[in-house]
Structure 1
């Protein structure tokens, strides 16, 4: 099971694997979601709605991927923001921040995080999703690694 982050979707759709060229990738992601092997917290959809674009519309058609974090996941979110205060952004113009929810849902569901973020070194101002996942013992991969694991070719 995979828990996908906004950055993986954005980078994939807009930069690395646009659907006009990699249609079968997006079909495969749809199938993963339909089989409950691709999930994401509702907060990711809220972040995508900021763009109000074709990716947002595509994801809205696949709302079954998005889950509301349960009480256990909410507790993990609280643990993350308390344990890693530098992870919390200084501001969010609309109050939406999906990162800790992606990690928390993955932890509760025993899923692998899929993100477009890269780990940062110890001197960085703010850790990224891969850094927090490593600290919490949660597997974290890129969209390309998901493609390889699933054996998809194009």
Structure 2
């Protein structure tokens, strides 16, 4: 069974743009079901981004608390050696990226490098709305890191299709 690792933007963009909690309930019911069955997981850094960037009464935060089991968000320290590989590689890319882009990507609490590290360790497919931009200088994007390390990534609809999941 292929398992999928969700980026923060899976939740935030779905809630704010495509599948608002109060309008497209079926998307969120399906997400809860896929999580319960173990098809989708995420990491502690994503949880922190969702919880810390929201107000106390944010609907998305409340939905996550009410609908995702504690073990849905996996601890990232398990992927420390893979994270170190990513840090080393990104630091060799100073000819392509601005120093500020590398510094931003490697911020301690940013989920992006940890997502790729965890996906490498557990052989997972990352679900993100980020698009590949190989010539970008101002931001290190998840797809470029995935491409370098051989990690598959898809968007939300791609994941749903691969899981033969409808909502």
Q: Following TM superposition, by how much is the alpha carbon of 1:51 offset from its aligned partner in structure 2, in angstroms?
A: 1.2
CA distance in 2, matches of 1:116, 1:65: 20
CA distance in 2, matches of 1:70, 1:123: 29
Q: Following TM superposition, by how much is the alpha carbon of 1:18 offset from its aligned partner in structure 2, in angstroms?
A: 1.5
Partner in structure 1 of residue 159 of structure 2 = 146
SS for the counterpart of 1:33 is helix
Partner in structure 1 of residue 94 of structure 2 = none
1:5–1:113 CA contact under 8 A, matched in 2 = yes
Question: Unaligned 5+ residue runs, structure 2?
Answer: 92-96
Partner in structure 2 of residue 66 of structure 1 = 73
Q: 1:131 to 1:96 in 2, by over 3 A?
A: same
The number of aligned residues is: 151
Matched, 1:54 2:69: no
Partner in structure 2 of residue 8 of structure 1 = 10
How does the TM-score come out when normalised to structure 1? 0.88
Q: Which is greater in Rg?
A: 2
Q: How does 1:28-39 map to 2 (within 5 A)?
A: 28-39=30-41
1:107–1:138 CA contact under 8 A, matched in 2 = yes
Q: 1:70 to 1:12 in 2, by over 3 A?
A: same
Question: Unaligned 5+ residue runs, structure 1?
Answer: none
Partner in structure 2 of residue 79 of structure 1 = 85
RMSD, aligned CA:
1.9
